[in-house]
Amino acid sequence: MISNKLTCTSALQGGSGSVQGILFSNIQVSEVQFPIVIDQFYCDKRNCKNQTSAVSLAGINYERIKGTYTVMPVHFACSDSLPCVDVSLTSVELTPIQEQNHLYDPFCWQTYGELKTPTLPPIGCLQIGKPTNNRIQTDHDLCWSDIN
């Protein structure tokens, strides 16, 4: 599969509920700005009021993701009030399309997880363990999905 972005976005800021058990696997990307993205600060307008509530994200797995990027290989922007947990990366190999276009290193904000294998580029920004304040907001709004 050739993709222009792998994204797990929790919809607009201020959402509620949870998403668990997502698998992105065996994906080839080519000349993508941001190949791997989680964005709990997403705003579909020019100006958005910053919201503190968010969709709980847990068990987001990226396996065998390969290809090229133009801006940043990984962008994990998780909520201050509800950080992302159990994010894992296995066999991720993303290279800049041209070395001079390599603008940014991987970015992680409030993202807890592990590298199950070394990655290219090295992703050293994941936090180990779990935050003390992590919780699922509601039990009735769960969503499970596997993308292969």
Lookup: tokens for 92: 């991720």
Distance of CA 108 to the CA centre of its chain: 8
Query: What pLDDT shows up at residue 14?
Result: 65
Lookup: tokens for 53: 């509530």
> What is the pTM assigned to this prediction?
0.79
Distance CA 100, CA 102 (A): 6
Q: Where are the domains of the chain?
A: 2-144
Lookup: tokens for 1: 């599969």
Q: Which amino acid is at 76?
A: F
**Do the Cβ atoms of 56 and 138 come closer than 8 Å?**
no
Q: What is the pLDDT of residues 90-110, one digit of tens each?
A: 999 999 998 765 578 999 999
pLDDT of 38 over the 80 cut: yes
pLDDT of 140 over the 70 cut: no
Distance CA 95, CA 98 (A): 8
Q: What is the pLDDT of residues 40-91, one digit of tens each?
A: 888 777 777 777 777 899 999 999 999 999 999 999 999 998 999 999 999 9
Q: What is the pLDDT of residues 4-25, one digit of tens each?
A: 545 444 445 667 789 999 999 9
Query: What pLDDT shows up at residue 102?
Result: 57
Paired strand residues for 76: 38, 108
Q: How many helices (H) and strands (E) does the chain have?
A: 0, 10
Query: What pLDDT shows up at residue 132?
Result: 81
